[in-house]
Structure 1
């Protein structure tokens, strides 16, 4: 029966996505540690589902670089190195700069911030930025990660290229996966998390691309400096919000988003 078969496919696809999302959240929360091994059966038993959608979800996460598949031992959470992180930052910087270029000299140069579609999109992105900023200042890493990923994804969609948006989203998930294991060990993150989301939206709304580039360049440089401190056992040296030369107000760790 075509109808029954179609319903089954939709149900399985939905379950597959739900399991993939749940496991991605486990990785981002730091509960699924880098190198930790598990089998399809273990995950299926944990969620009370059959093995097929679990296997499909794990294959999806492997394709996204979050898991490694082992033919004989199942799967394990991928372990990124500081060198991997440097490569991620370089890749997303190149893509983001290209998107900014499209606003000034490329196919998006005709867009105006006060156009209804663009204005509505930027307003939505700014609301995500406000939520991310509140979470950052409160030191709520879990809430910050969720809003941060939505912020950057929705900001990318303003540029109208879903392939670039998906690529950047994957990079940002991977960068969070790398740093979250270190940040979870720190006792207090209040006021120490990067929170310039709304500043970036505001300069883009004014079409001030030079200022946008400055914010992103400062943010990336700070992220690299932070990771060097965290992976070396330090607490991070970058500023909590502002210029690279500003001294942090208290011991702690800054972070990227």
Structure 2
């Protein structure tokens, strides 16, 4: 005990058990029953003869300062589930310090590209196995997607990808036009031409993604372009609402065909044309381009 306490004082804090020294990482969610002996908890001695159980595997689970991995962090295995559509072999590598953010980005990409199919149900544990992480960050990311309207919770099963109808898409386009057209017209009257020139690289990025036929990357670059334009209005609330509407309009339609390559290229070209009209303060062209852009490429604008 005195040696263990001295080691804690030397390291500046309490022991945190995430694995056994000498045997590599272990699953801390599989603990022995309460009251188990040190040998049952830690296995046979592997240290020096006479070493105490605390020296081999750290303090008991109920000791002050010990942090255990929670049970809900373990993803239970599921059966009879829709096969996962992600390409590639083996789990996707995800760095622990930003697991949830990376999983959220990956799921959004899968939604936009159609890898997660509308109407299908996916469980957090199964998706966690695919990404090589526990079910917890997947579940948290899916809850965020539920707030964004991309999935809905199915009790005791997982999350169903929402089926977006053509009517819903038309309604989103109408709301986006009501919000963004007046802002674009005001910006055309007040923003110097040199500021619009600074947004050319963003417009070119959408064009490059469209030329490759990369729908997921096109969706990201398209939102980045629109955010940069609207950010010039200096209204953070407007920016958040417009970006949420934009993202919702990009979720795949169950009945809609995949946007053709030519549609994406034409849609991307409208970004450069819009910058030209904004710099020239050509208000009728600005309004026409923005309205058309919202309904172009089958909702991928």
Q: Same-fold call, TM > 0.5?
A: yes
In structure 2, C-alpha distance between the alignment counterparts of 1:192 and 1:68, rounded to whole Å? 32
Q: Does 1:24 align with 2:98?
A: no
Aligned to 2:148: 64
Structure 1 residue runs of 5 or longer lacking an equivalent are 5-10, 228-254
1:136/1:144 contact within 8 Å kept: yes
- Cα deviation digits, residues 24-53 of structure 1 (max 9, x gap): 000111111101111111121111212222
Q: 2:290 aligns with which of 216, 229, 242?
A: 216
2:164/2:254 contact within 8 Å kept: no
Within 5 Å, which residues of 2 pair with 1:72-111? 72-100=156-184, 102-103=186-187, 111=190
1:132/1:147 contact within 8 Å kept: yes
RMSD in angstroms over aligned alpha carbons? Answer: 3.0
- CA gap 1:148/1:18 in 2 versus in 1, 3 angstroms: same
TM-score when scaled to structure 2?
A: 0.60
In structure 1, C-alpha distance between the alignment counterparts of 2:132 and 2:202, rounded to whole Å? 34
Q: Does 1:33 align with 2:107?
A: no
Greater relative contact order (Cα < 8 A, sep 6+): 1
Q: 1:146 aligns with which of 206, 212, 220?
A: 220
Greater share of helix: 1
TM-score when scaled to structure 1?
A: 0.69
In structure 2, C-alpha distance between the alignment counterparts of 1:81 and 1:112, rounded to whole Å? 37
Runs of 4+, deviation exceeding 4 Å: 137-140
Deviation at residue 55 of structure 1 after TM alignment: 1.5
Q: 2:244 aligns with which of 157, 170, 181?
A: 170
